Amino acid sequence: MLALLSSMPFELSLIPPLLKNRRSYKVAGKTAVKGTLSTLPIILVYTGIGKVNAAHSVTCILERLPVEIIINIGVGGAYPNSGLRVGDIAAASKEIYGDEGVLTPQGFKGMEEIGIPLVKAGKKKYFNEFPVLVPPLMVNGEGAVKIKTGNFVTVSAVTGSQKRAKELEKRFDALCENMEGAAIAQICALYKVPMVEIRGISNIAGIRDKGCWNLTLAAQNCQRAALDVMNSPLIRSALRKTGKYTNK
């Protein structure tokens, strides 16, 4: 089974009508939709906003359901020098916690400064950074949609100043920011479940002018990208490893 996650329902609005044998229910109080998409068993979960909601949702579905891969989608804010515009698509090459660590007189230091990893998996230690799968992407939306792959930063406080946006962009060599991705990646690392993350750009981080945002366009383009990824060899290969999914 593939799990497709978003923090809010509008970020997954296009996909439920495409599911066969669709039914809705609750997972630990969160709304979920289960069905099949081109013979692929899938569950959609609306996690709620923020790290705790995201981590809670992922833990619940991994404990209760035979989920073999997770795709996290939604909107995000692009950093000023990313080259991305509103409506473009970003795919994560890694997820990074942007504010877990120590704020020293010399500036921010990550969890390595404390010396305690957030996750130990065998010989691997994860401090602020978590690996994700990088998907092949094709967007079938209208017009030219730019697609870029790079580092994502997960923050607790959305960036509302250009100074802060440039600081995070430079520190983590990042494309964009969000509020859930690293928490989902952390749980996936604990459970050894692969994860893909795709974001539609709704705004430029640091410019707190909602008149310049386009949440609807960002969410729609992101969902179209996710549909392409779900039909890609990358996803089918990940599911075939368990022998539970066959492309009929």
pTM for this prediction: 0.92
pLDDT band for 231, please (50, 70, 90 cuts).
Answer: confident
> What is the average pLDDT across 229-234?
83
**pLDDT tens-place string over residues 67-98:** 999 999 999 999 999 999 999 999 999 999 99
The rounded radius of gyration (Å) of the Cα atoms in the chain is 17
> What is the average pLDDT across 143-161?
91
Residue 81's nearest CA partner among 139, 167, 160 is: 167
18 exposure class (CB count in 10 Å sphere: 0-12, 13-18, 19+): middle
Q: Which of 68-82, 128-142, 165-179, 233-247 has the lowest mean pLDDT?
A: 233-247
Cα dihedral 157/99/119/176 (nearest 10)? 70
Locus of tokens 């998907």: 135
pLDDT at residue number 138: 58
pLDDT at residue number 235: 77
Q: How far apart are CA 203 and CA 85, in angstroms?
A: 8
pLDDT > 50? residue 246: no
Which residue ranges make up each domain of the chain?
2-240
Q: Which of 23-32, 113-122, 146-155, 187-196 has the lowest mean pLDDT?
A: 23-32
CATH topology assigned to domain 2-240: Rossmann fold (3.40.50)
CB 30 within 8 A of CB 7: no
Residues 6+ apart with CB under 8 A from 14: 220, 223, 224
pLDDT > 70? residue 244: no
